[in-house]
C-alpha cells in the first residue's frame, strides 16, 4: 500500500486496485479510518477529533491530487505521486 503523505503523526495510504468510492486510509497511532475524498467524511473506522480535523483540512487542500492518485492506483498503474504534508 503506497504511502501518499505523512504529517503530524498521520500516515495517508492508498491501496492498489482499490474499490469505489474514491477514498484513502489514514492511520494515527492505533487508530485508522477510511476517508471519502469528495466529502472528507469517515467511511469506516475512527480517528480522534483533532487528527480527523487535520485530515479533513488536508483533504480539502489536495482533493485534485488525491483523486488523481486514486484513479491511477485503482487501475493498478505506478504513476501515483506523493502529496505535500499539511
CA separation for the pair 23, 15 (Å, rounded): 9
pTM for the whole structure = 0.94
5-28 mean pLDDT:
96
- Per-residue pLDDT, averaged over 6-24, amounts to 96
Per-residue pLDDT at 1 exceeds 90: no
Where residue 11 falls among pLDDT bands split at 50, 70, 90?
A: very high
47-56 exposure pattern, b = at least 16 Cβ within 10 A, e = fewer: beeebbebbb
Across-strand partners of 45?
33
Output the average pLDDT for the chain: 97
List, for residues 57-76, the tens digit of each pLDDT value.
999 999 999 999 999 999 99
The answer to whether residues 44 and 34 touch, using CB atoms and an 8 Å cutoff, is yes
Per-residue confidence (pLDDT) for residue 80, from 0 to 100: 95
Q: 28 φ, ψ to 5°?
A: -145, 105
Which of 81, 82, 72 has the alpha carbon at shortest distance from 16? 72
Q: How far is CA 28 from the centre of its chain?
A: 12
Amino acid at each position: 500500500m503506497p504511502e501518499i503523505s505523512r504529517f503530524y503523526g498521520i500516515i495517508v495510504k492508498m491501496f492498489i486496485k482499490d474499490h469505489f468510492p474514491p477514498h484513502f486510509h489514514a492511520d494515527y497511532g492505533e487508530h485508522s479510518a477510511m476517508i471519502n475524498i469528495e466529502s472528507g467524511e469517515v467511511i469506516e473506522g475512527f480517528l480522534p477529533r483533532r487528527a480527523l480535523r487535520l485530515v479533513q483540512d488536508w483533504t480539502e487542500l489536495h482533493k485534485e491530487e488525491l483523486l488523481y492518485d486514486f484513479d491511477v492506483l485503482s487501475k493498478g498503474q505506478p504513476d501515483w505521486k506523493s502529496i505535500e504534508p499539511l
